[in-house]
Structure 1
Amino acid sequence: MSASKFKTICVFCGSSLGKKKSYQDAAIDIAKKLVMKNIDLVYEGGNIVLMGLISQTVFDGGRHVLGVIPKPLMDKEITSVTIGKLKPVANIHQRKAEMNLHSDAFIAMLVSGYGTLEELFEVITWAQLAIRNKPIGLLNIDGYYNSLLSFIDQAVEEGFIKPSAHHIIASASNAKELIEELKDYYPCHKEVTVKLN
């Protein structure tokens, strides 16, 4: 898949700043790379901290921004000014469906809570079952995802994840390399015979 085929990328990111300035720098960097490559953004809808940095930078760069947020989270994660188009939905399940509908690929950076981690693993599961074969990348800033990647390695070694599904996730330590990895992404797991819709 060439870079031009990525019209929109969904970015999962933290709803807090984290303790390192490098996290904020990475959020701005990934946003600038999306703008440079004429890629629109779908994200989790909040306009605070890292989510706000990414969405504002992409929006200021002239790209389309779509935030999808469950109504119960709006008071917590949105200030008075919205960025781009905001689509309120009833719950997390609807948010995941909408983000998938409007995205060509997924990037996870600085997943900060159980909910966002669950969203990431759902798109990984979709890929494993060949329900959807959209590229999935981890932006591994300062080794943030090393433990998760080690867990996946161990799960493969212990026989709980098939070796053919081991490389569903692309990873890189910076935005430029990760987008290149996603360009070359091809599902290398074995597709299941029956696809669930």
Structure 2
Amino acid sequence: MNTIKTLAVFCGSSEGANPLYKETAQELGKQMHHQHVTLVYGGGNRGLMGIVAESLYSLGGRVIGVLPQALNRSDVRLHQVEERLIVVPTMHERKATMYELADAFVALPGGIGTFEEILEVYTWLQLGYHTKPVALLNIAGFYDSLLAFLEHSVQEGFLKADHFAALIVESDIGKLFEHLQCWEGKLSDKLGR
């Protein structure tokens, strides 16, 4: 059983086209408050990122933002929704700080930055750099194409089946938290040793 006290959430700085993305982001913040889980996020309070943070913060939950200096500006930080804001020099330091602070990682819908962040922590899991749960909150099938691609990678011999199975995929927030808490990080060696 994993104790999830802090959750790094990766998601879009836009709200996206489907209203369900925004509704789910709000619900995630409420569920994090109910579960007493602190949010670790990228510090920009726009789009889905801001909705999750604002939802949790408005209920009195803990929010930690990690922002690179170049993005510490008024068009990125519209207003304060963090108990604590950590400003770091670079994007690399932002990710390293978020990874260090988090007990688990989840991605909601987003763009290239979201994909890069969740796939990097998934890569680190595969390589044994950490043993923390990594999840996709697959709202309205947003990640179906990525999952099909990863499955294709398994079939083609580039991704091990147990590494693919280690990625938590859930569309229900309550079940997502159950999976995060029960997840076991025992994977075969990436290099086959």
Q: TM-score normalized by structure 1?
A: 0.91
C-alpha displacement of 1:168: 2.2
Identity rate of aligned residues, in percent?
Answer: 37
2:82 pairs with 1:87: no
C-alpha displacement of 1:188: 4.0
Letter matched to residue 62 of structure 1: G
Distance in 1, matches of 2:12 and 2:172, equals 17
Structure-2 change in CA distance of 1:164 and 1:17 (3 Å): same
C-alpha displacement of 1:120: 1.0
**Which one of the candidate residues 89, 101, 122 is aligned to 1:124?**
122
Distance in 1, matches of 2:80 and 2:31, equals 24
2:41 pairs with 1:40: no
Letter matched to residue 8 of structure 1: T
**Which one of the candidate residues 131, 153, 160 is aligned to 1:162?**
160
Distance in 2, matches of 1:121 and 1:103, equals 15
What is aligned with 1:11? 9
Please list, as runs of the form range in 1=range in 2, the aligned pairs for 1:69-80 lying within 5 A after superposition.
69-75=67-73, 76-80=75-79
Q: Aligned Cα RMSD in Å? A: 1.5
Structure-2 change in CA distance of 1:158 and 1:191 (3 Å): closer
Asked if 2 retains the 8 angstrom alpha-carbon contact of 1:165 and 1:189, the reply is yes
Distance in 2, matches of 1:53 and 1:89, equals 23
Q: Give the secondary-structure state (helix, strand or coil) at the position aligned to 1:99.
A: helix
What is aligned with 1:22? 20
Q: Give the secondary-structure state (helix, strand or coil) at the position aligned to 1:42.
A: strand
Structure 1 runs not aligned, ≥5 long: none
Distance in 2, matches of 1:79 and 1:60, equals 15
Asked if 1 retains the 8 angstrom alpha-carbon contact of 2:4 and 2:37, the reply is yes
C-alpha displacement of 1:74: 2.2
C-alpha displacement of 1:82: 4.7
Q: Say how many residue pairs are matched.
A: 190
Distance in 1, matches of 2:86 and 2:123, equals 25
Structure 2 runs not aligned, ≥5 long: none
What is aligned with 1:181? 179
Q: Give the secondary-structure state (helix, strand or coil) at the position aligned to 1:86.
A: strand
